[in-house]
Amino acid sequence: MMSPAGGRHGRIAAKINKLLAMHVDDQQLGVTFAAETGFLISTDPDTVRAPDAAFVCKEKMEQLDDDSGFLPFAPDLAVEVVSPNDSFAAVEKKAFSWLDAGTQLVLIVEPESETVHAYRSRSNIKVLSSDDIIDADDVIAGWTARVAELFA
């Protein structure tokens, strides 16, 4: 059992979801998912993770017969917003588990420093500050966002 996130966490997660959903829906690229959506990323034992925001491409969604339960794969993009009670190391461990399960891009959003850490692999990690642009075009065609916009 986990306690609910605070207001800042929820506001930032909602902003990211809004920016993603508007672009993904307008371009018909796939589906976005809000926090608490479960993704089954491994079995034996079952491991279900729920990012704060996620994107799954249209092709992957079209192969799914029923999405009423946990989604049986990793999302193409997972976003984790660091909460005040989280250690960065614990959130980074989640990022690595997403990558190991097949997620192409994991964004760790750090409200305290107003930075975004973009993980494309365990060794390809970029730290972006407020003046930088998140460029996820390799995962979500045409999607970019200014880091500062997430914290406004």
- pTM across the whole model: 0.95
Q: What is the dihedral of CA 151, 91, 105, 63, to 10 degrees?
A: -110
Helix (H) or strand (E) run with residue 30 in it: strand 30-34
Residue with the larger pLDDT of the pair 45 and 103 = 103
Percent of the chain with pLDDT over 90: 89
Q: In the predicted model, what is the mean pLDDT of residues 16-37? A: 96
pLDDT of 85 reads 87
Q: In the predicted model, what is the mean pLDDT of residues 30-48? A: 93
pLDDT of 56 reads 98
pLDDT, tens digit (0-9, with 9 covering 90-100), for 81-131: 999 889 999 999 999 999 999 999 999 999 999 999 999 999 999 999 999
Reported confidence tier of residue 2, pLDDT bands at 50, 70, 90: low
At residue 74, the 3 state secondary structure works out as: coil
Residue type at position 82 = V
Average of per-residue pLDDT values in the chain? 94
Homologous superfamily of the 7-151 domain (CATH): tt1808, chain A (3.90.1570.10)
Compute the distance between CA of residue 26 and CA of residue 125 in angstroms, rounded to an integer. Answer: 29
pLDDT of 118 reads 98
CB 11 within 8 A of CB 145: no
Q: What is the secondary structure of 79-135 as a DSSP string?
A: EEEPPTT--HHHHHHHHHHHHHHT-SEEEEEETTTTEEEEESSSS-EEEE-TTSEEE
